[in-house]
Amino acid sequence: QVQLQESGPGLVKPSETLSLTCAVSGGSINSYSWSWIRQPPGKGLEWIGYIYYSGTTHYNPSLESRVTISVDTSKTEFSLKLSSVTAADTAVYYCAREVPLSDIDTFDIWGQGTMVTVSS
């Protein structure tokens, strides 16, 4: 059974770059798309972007100028970098697998999430 686990620093200083990794276990990363999603405290879920296993990416336009998602198939992990962070980027960050079910893209497997706080 495929499982996802986020890891990375829980505290990032303003203006610096947030870096997170999602380890994929129990299955192959060489198919489907792999997404990052976040939830600021007290707010809803926001899709950040996805990467296809081949390396093709698609980002939320609201974050596109600051986001980079990459994949390392040899390590079965994918990563998120968010540059020039501010307090507004404080959130729980989730990684998720995106698969088509009945031709509808769905997030069928999620990690438990990791809290990242932006503060000096």
Partner 1 sequence: DIQMTQSPSSLSASVGDRVTITCRTSRTINTYLNWYQHKPGKAPKLLIYSASNLQSGVPPRFGGSGSGTDFTLTINSLQPEDFATYYCQQSYGTPWTFGQGTKVGIK
Interaction site with partner 1 (CB under 8 A):
4, 43-47, 58, 60-62, 94, 96, 101-113
Compute, in degrees rounded to 10, the torsion defined by CA atoms 33, 56, 61, 50. Answer: 20
Instruction: Tell me the three state secondary structure of residue 89.
Output: helix
Nearer to partner 1, 50 or 85 (CB): 50
Tokens encoding 7: 């890891």
Q: How far is the CB of 4 from partner 1 (least distance, A)?
A: 8
Least Å from the CB of residue 100 to partner 1: 9
Residue closer to partner 1, measured from CB, 72 or 105: 105
At its nearest, how many Å lie between partner 1 and the CB of residue 47?
A: 4
Residues 70, 56: Cα–Cα separation, whole Å: 9
One-letter amino acid at 22 equals C
Contact 76, 25 (CB under 8 A): yes
Asked whether the beta carbons of 50 and 34 are under 8 A apart, the reply is yes
Q: Which is nearer to partner 1, 3 or 16 (CB)?
A: 3
State the nearest-atom distance from the C-beta of 44 to partner 1, in Å.
Answer: 4
